[in-house]
Structure 1
Amino acid sequence: MTKHRTYALVAGLLSLWAIGSVGAAEQVMVVGLFPGAAVINVDGVRKLVKVGNTGPDGVVVVSADSRSAVLRVNGVQRTYTLEREYSQGFAVPTKNQVSIAKGLGGHYWIAGSANGQQVQFLVDTGATTIAMNGSQAQQLGIDYRATGKPTVVSTASGTAAAWRVTLDKVKVGTIELLGVEAMVLDGPSPTEALLGMSFLSRVRWREDQGVLILESKN
């Protein structure tokens, strides 16, 4: 084999290697966005990656906020917006899904709404129902004393008067449920509105690498 043909063969092999390397990450999607982090799906592998860190197949999260993320894929940077995950390559979206990253104190916080009014929920799988204090209920326009059923509940500091009410609708991300039971406690507790099992039991939920994933059942 001549020297010229040897160089040509080596150049051809290098070209094929380069093409294969560029196409290493075939499908990259951003399926969750948070300040300073993004949930990325690379060829079906999903992971929460903080800014400056590397995810599956060497994909680097350069920057991220609640609107978009800049990823470096195979050395090329581009901006990605939030995408819905798809099933088996067909253009049919999965069921409504919400990804929640751990926040302060290792808890899951999510902005939502109750009866059309905005509310910040603390996800609490130990709470039987959605729970809030009287002041929070008034801010949401809930006349719990007139429409609720009075009861007594046990709290960390003892017993407290409470009213059992039904919220017309509760929405978290793209998931909306109608007729959700809630408890309004007299006094300052709980200090945050709790997203309890009266909502969570009607959706599918799981934890995956520091991300709580909620998914509608239908």
Structure 2
Amino acid sequence: MRFLALLLTATLSLIAATTTAAPRVQVVGLFPGAAVLNVDGQRKLVRVGQTGPGGVVVVSADSRGAVLRVEGIERSYGLSRELSSGFAEPERKQLSIAKGQGGHYWIAGSINGQSVQFLVDTGATSVAINENQARRLGIDYRVDGRQIVVGTASGTAKAWKVHLNSVKVGAIDVMGVEAVVVEGASPTEALLGMSFLGRVSWREDQGVLRLESKI
């Protein structure tokens, strides 16, 4: 009887192991040294060498694709915008911003989960913040960033190009957003530039800026 009980336990364990579904893994964003993963519907920016949802490890990543380690097996993944069967298409998030002081669009949001007041600037190539704002947000731009020179209203300035984990306004959350940290106190407000706006749908309509998430 004991032998039969052990055999039954082993059989049930084998059935459970074989019927456990492998995680549904997709790459929905690619950046140098990082990828945005969608694992069983959970979306997260994961840098090379780090472990994401479902224990998925990002081995390498660039603009062409990523190598992921899933359940101990490494394979290459391309960028995917398609959802696996069994998952409902996520609802597109929308946000309307009325024109405010000075004829500009102002919106409260967050960078890496911390509150920021944004000035929408469609003429800015990237999200831009000054060095004091970067320090408050805990962004180690001198270590993690690449030094560049940018043009400002008062001339050229030293800056660092970085990648933010997330930028959020309203319910619209975009991961892996390129940004610049400018030396000094300018810009006084964080600029919500095209590195964010280019990742969403947006249009101006009679003094109202309308944003909509793409995925």
Using the TM superposition, give the Cα deviation of residue 93 of structure 1 relative to its aligned residue in structure 2, in angstroms.
Answer: 9.1
How high is the sequence identity, in percent, across the aligned residues? 70
- Separation in 2, partners of 1:154, 1:124: 15
Using the TM superposition, give the Cα deviation of residue 217 of structure 1 relative to its aligned residue in structure 2, in angstroms.
Answer: 1.1
- Separation in 1, partners of 2:173, 2:91: 15
Q: Which runs of 4+ in 1 moved over 3 A?
A: none
- Separation in 2, partners of 1:93, 1:141: 31
Give the match for residue 141 of structure 1: 138
Give the match for residue 181 of structure 1: 178
TM-score (norm 2): 0.57
SS of alignment partner, residue 186 of structure 2: coil
- Separation in 2, partners of 1:94, 1:211: 22
Deviation readout 1:24-76 (Å, 9 max, x if unpaired): xxxxxxxxxxxxxxxxxxxxxxxxxxxxxxxxxxxxxxxxxxxxxxxxxxxxx
Pick from 104, 107, 123 the counterpart of residue 104 of structure 2.
107
SS of alignment partner, residue 113 of structure 1: strand
TM-score (norm 1): 0.56
Can you give the 5+ residue segments of structure 1 that lack an aligned partner in the other structure? Answer: 1-91
Give the match for residue 26 of structure 1: none
SS of alignment partner, residue 187 of structure 2: coil
Give the match for residue 30 of structure 1: none
Equivalent residues in 2 for 1:56-205, closer than 5 Å: 95-205=92-202
Which structure has the larger Rg?
1
- Separation in 2, partners of 1:205, 1:140: 27
SS of alignment partner, residue 137 of structure 1: helix
- Separation in 2, partners of 1:158, 1:98: 34
- Separation in 2, partners of 1:164, 1:121: 18
Using the TM superposition, give the Cα deviation of residue 210 of structure 1 relative to its aligned residue in structure 2, in angstroms.
Answer: 1.1
Match of 2:155, as an amino acid? G
- Separation in 1, partners of 2:160, 2:130: 10
SS of alignment partner, residue 196 of structure 2: helix
Give the match for residue 208 of structure 1: 205
SS of alignment partner, residue 134 of structure 2: helix
- Separation in 2, partners of 1:125, 1:176: 18
